[in-house]
Structure 1
Amino acid sequence: MSEADPRPATFREVFAVREFRPLFGTYTLSTIGDELARVALTVLVYQRTDSPLLAALTFAMSFLPWAVGGPVLSTVADRFPRHRVLIASDVVRAVLVAGMAVPGTPLPVLLGLLLLVSLLGPPFESARSALMADVLEGERYAVATSLTNVSLQVAQVVGFVVAGGLVTVLSPSVVLLLDAATFVVSAVWLAATLDRRPTPVGDAAEPSSVWQDTAGGLRLIGRNPRLLAIIALLWTGTMFANAAEGIAVPLTDSLGEGPAQLGVLLAANPLGVTIGGLVVARVLGTARSERFMPVLVALSLAPLLLAGLVAVAAGPGRGVYTLVVALLFVAGLGASWSIPLNVSFVQAVPSAYRGRAFGVAVSGLYGVQGLGALSAGLAAERVPPGAVVALAGGLGLIAVVPPLLGFARTRPAVAGDGPAGGPSVS
């Protein structure tokens, strides 16, 4: 099926692409393994120190490299053949995680190994995302992105649930060894199935440093109005749409519910995103879903405004809690706008720049999610949690207007293979 074909692709057509299967399967496997390790190491640190702060720091450390050094680390995906980046990252992570599983490893060494494992995340994910765009195109890429998103949501849930059960019957060290095994399987699977492609930049490119590559990726985005609008919409919409997660505990408490209901409340939005993403990719297709972008963005934020107002006006009660959860689910359906936006982003970025461009986009995404959650937490110190949710939805509806207008005013374009690809890159 050509990229110009507006017909939505089927799941069978996507899985028929030989190289997509290992990219999808290893991503799911590694995500489950990551959640196993995250829980196991957090439990291990807490068992040794009895410190909630150190346990929380351990859990959060795996996200630090993306937020701090993602744009720099992701340049690796554009400096070497991407299949080699994927395989090497998995092999090194398997060795490092196995080292973490050695009984009696000093705590500073454990945290140091965890940091090294986390540093390999941005190169791996940037290479995987860029390679996905190389092996799939048009509607197949849109459906593949949706399937990957579903895989992420399901793998996280499975990983956390399985980790909680395994840690109760096995030692954290054994669970860490299971995580190391997932990286070994992933490396072997990728090595056996991926085609060998050259370095994306090509042999004729001028030698450059990591910092020059990073600056080149930032310049590419800065000079392209289409990419600027896409990233502004992605960051702004995500920051306000996910802010409520930062106050999920006090919000659930204010509704008169307990820890069991907290899990349901937290799962409502991701479940909506999962279902909405499948509908957008499989039913609407890229072209139609892009035309519906303003509606989808509004749908991701307006239910938050309503949920917050309901929580403030009605007070605690099982019926109010159920309505809030339902509204969060609807907001998740709307948040599926990220699927067509991802396709538009890929189409506007030259292949040789995709690794570092993904790095910039994802790094900012981690940053704004943290900023949104922190802002919501600070606001909840002074006003009721429901009011904070309403503010996030209301302010978000206003804040997304400029990037939506910018997105609508820039024409879709398919980038070429060189740095001049795209409508505004000189």
Structure 2
Amino acid sequence: MLTAFRSLEHRNFRLYYAGQSVSLIGTWMQRLAVGWLVYSATHSSVLLGVVMFAGQIPTLLLAPYGGTVADRYSRYRILVFTQVASFIQASLLAGLVLGGYYNTWAVASLSLLLGTINAFDIPARQSLLVELVDNPAYLPNAIALNSTMVNVARLLGPAIAGLLLTYLGAGTCFALNALSFGAVIASLLLMRLVPRPPRAHRPGTWEGLREGWAYLRQAPGLRRQILLMAGIACCVMPYGTLLPVFAREVFHGAAGTFGWLNSMSGLGALAGALYLASRPAGSHQSRHVSYAALAFCLGLLGFALSARLPVALVFSVLSGTGMMLFIAGTNTFVQTHVDDRMRGRVLSYYVMAFQGVQPLGSLLVGWLARQLGAPHTVLLQATAGLLVVLMFWQSKKALAPAPAA
């Protein structure tokens, strides 16, 4: 287990890890509170899908541009700027809700603003990881530890938010999230980074996008992994949009039940991230990523068929483990197989596949839940995910070299 935390030997990564650990708890509190606030006010799975769509669609449209910006300019400065902007967004949301001046469309608009910020934040953040560790051999461990940090927050944030929603309301969650950005901003300001050597040629926006696409066309391994991510992200990952519906309508609970559903999924994801962090460098292979996607879909299949909350929580843990092994494994595969000069642009396509296509799935999932009900919709999602994995395996076999005669 000591080797699982070896990347923390590097001062800059240690600062990043500490600051983000605090900030991400607030981020997960806000994410949970937005979903509960909208569904409690409207009782509409369609409007819930619309708000989730607003928060994620900018990533689909702007992430490639954000990746080009990350390759042209200082990733560190971009990250400082986006964290300050996220603090302002959280403060506005807290002020509107605490003051009683909000409505669903105001929440959707601020979600759209946050999604726009994230379209620049995520490519810069992912690209910066390689600069936070002095030895590139530590990069896979840093990525896995980053996933661990996200999932500790995913475990704690919803649990805290469930209590706050029950006793103090959503506005308190948003206010605490705004305060949590102080930790990550302070950690960034304390870092001492060696400036990247200036590039002889810094491509323009459209030239950079074309270069990134051309690079992916010549890297079939990277391209297939990103396409698998896009398929799972579109078909399966938007199931989280319906968790408020499961909490209230299926399991007849309240905000605490919603928090438990999120936290148990986060517990499984944390276990998966710790497992990845403890593995030796170079042990992440593409076939393990597809097996993780399979486990994610099978866990979600069990969740959709569960009529009792304790059984559903067990399957939430299993699906969360598979989901995190899939996400972190894909990220590690991409980061360790990409040329550093193309890192921001290729990661922007990864981010677009991971988070950019989810809003399309959220809209569809919200509409399907209205027509079929939440359990049948998630059952359909899990089945679609299994078909995506099967198609990935078939494409991999088709591209495999024929055995020598």
**Structure 1 residues 264 and 388 mapped into 2: Cα distance closer, same or farther (>3 Å)?**
farther
Q: CA deviation at 1:265?
A: 4.8
Q: CA deviation at 1:360?
A: 1.6
Write the distance in 2 (CA, Å) between the matches of 1:294 and 1:38: 28
Report the counterpart of residue 259 of structure 1 in structure 2. Answer: 253
Residues 147-226 of structure 1 mapped to structure 2, 5 A cutoff: 147-163=145-161, 165-166=163-164, 176=174, 178-198=176-196, 202-206=198-202, 208-226=203-221
* 1:119 partner letter: T
Determine if the alignment matches structure 1 residue 22 to structure 2 residue 15.
yes
Deviations 1:206-238 (A, max 9, x none): 5x4323323322232233212211212222344
Report the counterpart of residue 78 of structure 1 in structure 2. Answer: 71
**Structure 1 residues 141 and 74 mapped into 2: Cα distance closer, same or farther (>3 Å)?**
same
Report the counterpart of residue 139 of structure 2 in structure 1. Answer: 141
Determine if the alignment matches structure 1 residue 399 to structure 2 residue 391.
yes
Determine if the alignment matches structure 1 residue 358 to structure 2 residue 347.
yes
Q: CA deviation at 1:404?
A: 4.5
* 1:272 partner letter: G
Q: Is this contact kept in 1: 2:66–2:124, CA < 8 A?
A: no
Report the counterpart of residue 227 of structure 1 in structure 2. Answer: 222
Q: CA deviation at 1:269?
A: 4.0
Write the distance in 2 (CA, Å) between the matches of 1:157 and 1:291: 28
2:60 to 60, 64, 67: 67
**Structure 1 residues 334 and 289 mapped into 2: Cα distance closer, same or farther (>3 Å)?**
farther
**Structure 1 residues 238 and 89 mapped into 2: Cα distance closer, same or farther (>3 Å)?**
closer
Write the distance in 2 (CA, Å) between the matches of 1:44 and 1:262: 12
2:128 to 112, 127, 131: 131
Give structure 2 stretches of 5+ with no counterpart.
none
Task: Answer with 157-166 or 103-112: which moved more.
Answer: 103-112
**Structure 1 residues 27 and 322 mapped into 2: Cα distance closer, same or farther (>3 Å)?**
same
Write the distance in 2 (CA, Å) between the matches of 1:396 and 1:177: 40
Q: Is this contact kept in 1: 2:155–2:266, CA < 8 A?
A: no
Write the distance in 2 (CA, Å) between the matches of 1:38 and 1:129: 20
Q: Is this contact kept in 2: 1:36–1:160, CA < 8 A?
A: yes
* 1:398 partner letter: L
Q: Is this contact kept in 1: 2:52–2:362, CA < 8 A?
A: no
Report the counterpart of residue 321 of structure 2 in structure 1. Answer: 333
Give structure 1 stretches of 5+ with no counterpart.
1-7, 410-426
Write the distance in 1 (CA, Å) between the matches of 2:55 and 2:223: 28
Q: CA deviation at 1:397?
A: 4.0
Report the counterpart of residue 418 of structure 1 in structure 2. Answer: none
**Structure 1 residues 55 and 78 mapped into 2: Cα distance closer, same or farther (>3 Å)?**
same
Task: Answer with 16-25 or 88-97: which moved more.
Answer: 88-97
Write the distance in 2 (CA, Å) between the matches of 1:135 and 1:304: 35
Deviations 1:298-320 (A, max 9, x none): 33334555666xx3xxxx754xx
Write the distance in 2 (CA, Å) between the matches of 1:115 and 1:105: 20
**Structure 1 residues 88 and 190 mapped into 2: Cα distance closer, same or farther (>3 Å)?**
same
Determine if the alignment matches structure 1 residue 242 to structure 2 residue 237.
yes
Write the distance in 1 (CA, Å) between the matches of 2:91 and 2:52: 18
RMSD: 4.2
**Structure 1 residues 406 and 134 mapped into 2: Cα distance closer, same or farther (>3 Å)?**
farther
Tell me the percent identity.
Answer: 22
Determine if the alignment matches structure 1 residue 278 to structure 2 residue 291.
no
Deviations 1:26-77 (A, max 9, x none): 3223323334555677899999xx6667984566543332133222233222
* 1:337 partner letter: F
Q: CA deviation at 1:179?
A: 3.6
**Structure 1 residues 32 and 203 mapped into 2: Cα distance closer, same or farther (>3 Å)?**
same
TM normalised by structure 2 equals: 0.76
Larger radius of gyration: 1
SS in 2 for 1:183: helix
Write the distance in 2 (CA, Å) between the matches of 1:296 and 1:42: 27
Q: Is this contact kept in 2: 1:307–1:390, CA < 8 A?
A: no
Write the distance in 2 (CA, Å) between the matches of 1:63 and 1:366: 7
